[in-house]
Amino acid sequence: MNILNSQTNETTNNFDPNIYDFIDGQKLELNSIEGFRKYSPRDGSLLYTLHPGETKRVDMAVANAKEAFDDGRWSNLPVRERARILNRLADLIEVKFDHFAYLESLDAGKPITAALTDDLPTTLSELRYYAHGADNIFSKHHFTDHRKISYEHRRPLGVVGAIIGWNFPLLLAITKIGPALAMGNTLVLKPSALTSLSACRVAELAIEAGVPPGVLNVVHGSGAVVGSTLSHHRDIKLLTFTGSSVIGREIMVAAGNSNMKRVLLECGGKSPNIVFNDCPEDLNAVADEVIISAFRNQGQVCIAGSRLLLQEGIKARLLPIFLERLAALRPGDPLDPNTRFGPVVSHEQLRKVMNYIDYGKRQGAKLIHGGNRVQLELDGFYVEPTVFDDVALDHAIAQEEIFGPVLSVFSFRDEQEALKIANSTPYGLAASVWTQNLGRAQRMAHGIEAGFIEIRATTAPHDDDAPFSVEGHKQSGFGKEGGMEGLLSYSAVSTVDIRI
Ligand code: NAD
């Protein structure tokens, strides 16, 4: 059966469920009849079974990555040569653009159209950005005066361990591979057990692109075995993590209890989307943006605007428009190119989302849209976009990251109250503020505790610029990732001071 249209040329018939570790340029088979069973988000069928992983596999990968770092086969290459190879990797991924989009859709349940128009283009532009960015860093950091020469000697750290989540499997892998390799490190990457299809295929392509064996290694398995071994490993110099705050805390403890490795923690969020009465006049457009912010990727986005704060004057006008437009967003088969909203990633995630919906009702919030598991005949993990109004600050759905399609709506009178609500959770990842008042925009930007604050004075479309650095606040983590400063995170600096 051909499920996709000619846009992708993919069929479910040519799906290859093979998962393999990739160590020292070699594929090591992993599929096993025992272990973690991965079910398709779209129809609940068994996609693959995954071995939980073994400590000795991790040790083997780290030992190979260490040898590859120590003998300089990668770190001693001119930075431009590394950039050329990473750009070639981007080209090879691009050749298989449709195939990777298909794998992302199948594995994570994201709509194929989103994978084709969002995940894959962003993945490619990030990788190319990092390849060129490193060149700029290494060639710029020196300065002199007439009596002395001081300069910063920037060097790679060594073996980097990367542990990632499942919401953007390929993109998250590339946001670790790109900066780690561009700066001359070697890497051991652990994908989420829920989305194992793309990373090992990228590692294989890296060899074809010219990355030497041992530089990019992938080890699959559980967090308890593979993740924990990596975060405790004494030969890993930096552990970069994208996942929940709960596990982020464990990574910090592991780093402290082992070799005091550096950590970069990109963790959870509960981001406010704050709409003032003086927001842009086109409320249809504002409503559409709020929908994208809350429900893109079924709400499984770290920076999702999962709390909507509406000023009292605008609420009665905006909310009905928002709900009317949201009604068009209905869960459907992610492999259908017309689908804009797919299933959540797993049965466990579905259960978690339904539990939060239940809490919301029991704690007294008012369900005003959705709330049901749907498409039962498809047997997948489909839940409606769900909206609660009258949410109180102490409700679970006001405080905890659901990481699913559940939006909590609050009302506020003035800036002060908006700030109080915005800053009331343990998280500080992102925020959006809709206002055309410059002073208010500035006050809110400085008052909100978040790493990324977007001011929306217009609904006009804008181009996404080159990636910039973002650092979580509070329990959303710390350490810069993305952009030029993100590249710096994957290196250490020695200041050399020469008196002459
Ligand atoms: P998770 O924390 O459950 O798992 C993330 C990774 O950690 C997985 O690979 C998992 O196997 C591994 N892991 C689990 N236990 C471990 C342990 N004891 N030691 C080491 N590793 C372990 O998160 P998830 O459910 O996969 O992803 C969702 C979370 O990721 C959300 O909280 C979301 O906000 C966050 N996220 C954050 C960003 C960001 O940029 N801040 C981006 C994407 C996702």
Residue type, 36: F
Q: What is the pTM of this model?
A: 0.95
**Strand 406-412 with 386-389, pairing:** parallel
The answer, yes or no, to whether any atom of ligand 1 lies below 6 A from the CB of 400, is no
Any ligand 1 atom below 6 A from CB of 370: no
Residue 496 confidence (pLDDT): 87
Residue nearest to atom 11 of ligand 1 (CA): 223
Is residue 302 among the annotated active site residues? yes
User: Between β-strands 386-389 and 477-478, what pairing exists: parallel, antiparallel or unpaired?
Assistant: unpaired
pLDDT, one tens digit for every residue, the chain (500 residues): 233 443 444 444 467 888 999 999 999 987 666 788 999 999 999 999 988 889 999 999 999 999 999 999 999 999 999 999 999 999 999 999 999 999 999 999 999 999 999 999 999 999 999 999 887 776 555 555 667 777 888 999 999 999 999 999 999 999 999 999 999 999 999 999 999 999 999 999 999 999 999 999 999 999 999 999 999 999 999 999 999 999 999 999 999 999 999 999 999 999 999 999 999 999 999 999 999 999 999 999 999 999 999 999 999 999 999 999 999 999 999 999 999 999 999 999 999 999 999 999 999 999 999 999 999 999 999 999 999 999 999 999 999 999 999 999 999 999 999 999 999 999 999 999 999 999 999 999 999 999 999 999 999 987 766 678 999 999 999 999 999 999 999 999 988 888 87
Instruction: Please give the pLDDT value at position 35.
Output: 81
Q: Burial-class residue 46 by CB neighbours within 10 Å (0-12, 13-18, 19+).
A: exposed
- Nearest in space to 109 (alpha carbons), one of 330, 300, 291, 370: 300
Q: Closest residue (by CA) to atom 41 of ligand 1?
A: 266
* pLDDT of 137: 77
| Residues whose CB is less than 8 angstroms from the CB of residue 420 and which lie 6 or more positions away in sequence, other chains included | none
- Is any atom of ligand 1 closer than 6 Å to the C-beta of 401? yes
Measured in Å, residue 106 CA sits from the centre of ligand 1 at 20
Ligand 1 near 243 CB (within 6 A): yes
Distance, CA 88 to ligand 1 centroid (Å)? 29
Q: Which of 126, 302, 401, 471 is catalytic?
A: 302
Do the beta carbons of residue 134 and residue 79 sit within 8 Å? yes
Q: Is the CB of 228 under 6 A from ligand 1?
A: yes
CB atoms within 10 A of CB 459: 18
The percent of the chain in helix, strand and coil, each rounded to the nearest 5, is 40, 20, 35
- pLDDT of 498 reads 85
Asked if residues 218 and 200 have their Cβ atoms less than 8 Å apart, the reply is: yes
Task: For residue 279, indicate whether it is catalytic.
Answer: no
Tell me, in angstroms, the distance from the centre of ligand 1 to residue 265's CA.
10
Q: What is the CA(267)–ligand 1 centre distance, in A?
A: 7
Which pLDDT does position 497 carry in this prediction?
85
87 lines ligand 1 (CB under 6 A): no
